Amino acid sequence: MHQLTRPDWLIEEPDEVYHGKAKEFLSSHQLNDFRKCPYLYWKKHSGLIADKDSSAYAFGRAAHTLILEGRQTFEQRYAVGGPINPRTGKPYGSGTKAFAQWSADQGKPVVTDDEFVILEMMEQAVLTHPCAPKFITSGFAEGVCRSPYLGIPSQIRMDYLHPSYGIVDLKTCDDLTWFESDARRYGYLHQMAFYRAVLKETMGSKASVHILAVEKKQPFRCGIWKVSGDALDFAQAENESAIRLLKECCSEQIWPTGYEDIRIYDTV
């Protein structure tokens, strides 16, 4: 099989390096904070509020590694299991001191045996889906692009970039039934629109966008959505309006909450 050559503009770097550049480059996550509340964006950017690394985010990163980068890469980056209690012959609980010490000794993130069973089920759901496998093969996982966007240095880290299917974003969820509602709630369209726009600044053309979602519990359903160009264009317009306001806030050093004026509540 012909091996694709990685483009020069598609950067390969560790996750911690990418996040370490958050002060220098605007990301979709930061822009989402700003659209929600400019004051929230300012407090995070100033270091007054720290981003919390929840267990759900950590599990999601492990799923991304296993599903998109494969078993070998997963085993290099993660330790699986835990210490065994010699009195019972069973693993110590993840909340115990013994488990915490064992985890620290591994020198890399730890996935418990129970979590790994779930990860394998999710991986299997993707690999056995009628369409999903072709979207995450013959491309590049976790590629980083950086480019000015509307005059602001910006960066994106795409889950997968495929030569035919464009940007492929992997999402994990509890229930696929409500995924489209969750996509609106969590701003996935705006995230994808930001990715598409920054990628266009880099490679000169608009890419297609697909979202691959898989459940974290039984029955571990997997689905694929092609995001329409109209939906992305609408979200991009809102992103660009927010970026213009961000530039004004930076210039004037005024960071509103968005609730300064009196609102009318007339819902019955």
What's the pTM?
A: 0.93
pLDDT tens figures, 134-163 = 999 999 999 999 999 999 999 999 999 999
pLDDT at 2 over 60: no
Residues 39 and 147 grouped into a single domain = yes
Query: Rounded to the nearest 10 degrees, what angle do helices 38-45 and 229-252 cross at?
Result: 70
**101 and 202 fall within a common domain:** no
DSSP state of 202: H
Confidence of residue 57 (pLDDT cuts 50, 70, 90): confident
Q: Does residue 188 fall inside a structural domain?
A: yes
Question: What digits encode the pLDDT tens for the residues 14-45?
Answer: 999 999 999 999 999 999 999 999 999 999 99
190 shares a domain with 102: no
Q: Is the domain of 144 the same as that of 223?
A: yes
Q: Is position 263 within any domain?
A: no
**Residue found under tokens 């571990």:** 220
Residue 226 half-sphere exposure, CB side, CA atoms within 13 Å?
9
* Domains contained in the chain, number: 2
72-129 pLDDT, tens digit per residue, is: 999 999 999 999 998 898 888 888 999 989 999 999 999 999 999 999 999 999 999 9
**What is the full DSSP assignment across 110-149?**
EE-HHHHHHHHHHHHHHHTSSSHHHHTSSSEEEEEEEEEE
Residue 180 lies in a domain: yes
Q: Band of the pLDDT at 1, cuts 50, 70, 90?
A: very low
